[in-house]
Amino acid sequence: MAQDKPPQDLMQYESMAQDALRGVVKAALRRAASPGGLPGDHHFYITFKTQAPGVSGPPEVLSKYPDEMTIILQHQYWDLAPGETFFTVTLKFGGQPKRLSIPYTAVVRFFDPSVQFGLQFEPPGAEPAPTPVAAVTQDPAHHEPEPVGETAAKVVSLDQFRKK
């Protein structure tokens, strides 16, 4: 018996959903860039692919992170400018201010530990992962706090909606 070919997603729903969720990152950065800055204890860990198209920054900084880099927007960031397709921010590296420009499509993780909220995205040009992601994965180099018990991170992953 011949098996039916799975339907082809000509609408590209996965891509549309990823773009919509990146809009959450954009909206959060816009609030952080407003005159009041970040409200309360909110702060962001933003992980991005350093080799993604459109990422720019000082070569001496980006070369230290050949794959991914996590930045923290909390107390010491300047000139945060969220645009339509990318954001720019000045951070200190080795005590010196350095400007980064990061397209939203390069962002692979966004996490606000003050409320245990996280989003995880497919890297640019990556194939969808075959298994669902249950929580924010921890890499000691990223210094993200480990969620535990009922306070575990609320990660929104689109993998659970994929057909297997």
Q: pLDDT confidence of 155, banded at 50, 70, 90?
A: low
Q: Over the stretch 33-87, which tens digit does the pLDDT of each residue have? A: 999 889 999 999 999 999 999 999 999 999 999 999 999 999 889 999 999 999 9
- Is residue 117 scored above 50 in pLDDT? yes
User: Tell me, what's the pLDDT at 104?
Assistant: 96
- Tell me what pLDDT residue 148 has: 39
Strand partners, 100: 89
What is the pLDDT, as a whole number, of residue 125? 67
Q: How far is CA 44 from CA 6, 25, 98, in A?
A: 39, 10, 18
| Residue 30 pLDDT greater than 90, yes or no | yes
Average pLDDT over residues 83-96: 95
Q: Are 55 and 61 in contact (CB under 8 A)?
A: no
**Residue partners of 163: CB distance under 8 A and separation at least 6:** 6
Per-residue b or e along 28-49, where b marks 16 or more CB atoms closer than 10 Å to that residue's CB: bbeebbeeeebeeebbbbbbbb
Mean pLDDT of the chain: 81
